[in-house]
Amino acid sequence: MRRVHLVVSGRVQGVFYRASCAREARARGLAGWVRNLPDGRVEVALEGPEPQVEAMIAWCREGPPAAWVDEVEIAGEEPTGEAGFRVTG
């Protein structure tokens, strides 16, 4: 199991990034959450098997069709055993 914390910058708010991210993460069986930050970025926590986490990181670098991703900051974290994927904030 792997857990990562992402901060995504670019045109990522108001373009269905959170909803699309949640749908993609759930489809891959990942746990975690996604939320908007006050500065216009999006924050994501992902937890699950390595291949699915890597695939989701690749998706986050592209985002939904209306998004424009400039940068994805990635930090590894210890898995927490979190279940389900939710949209917050």
- List average pLDDT for each run of 10 residues in the chain, which is 89 residues long: 98 97 98 98 98 98 97 97 94
Active-site option among 18, 23, 35, 61: 18
Predicted pLDDT of residue 21? 98
DSSP class of residue 60?
Answer: H
State the Cα angle at 27 between 23 and 32, rounded to 5°: 70
- For 2, 7, 39, 89, the CA distances from 76, given in Å and listed in that order, are 8, 12, 22, 22
**CATH node for 2-77:** 3.30.70.100
Predicted pLDDT of residue 89? 77
State the Cα angle at 76 between 72 and 80, rounded to 5°: 120
- Catalytic annotation on 35? no
pTM score, two decimals?
0.95
Active-site option among 11, 23, 28, 36: 36
- Catalytic annotation on 36? yes
Written as six digits, the tokens of 18 are 């959170």
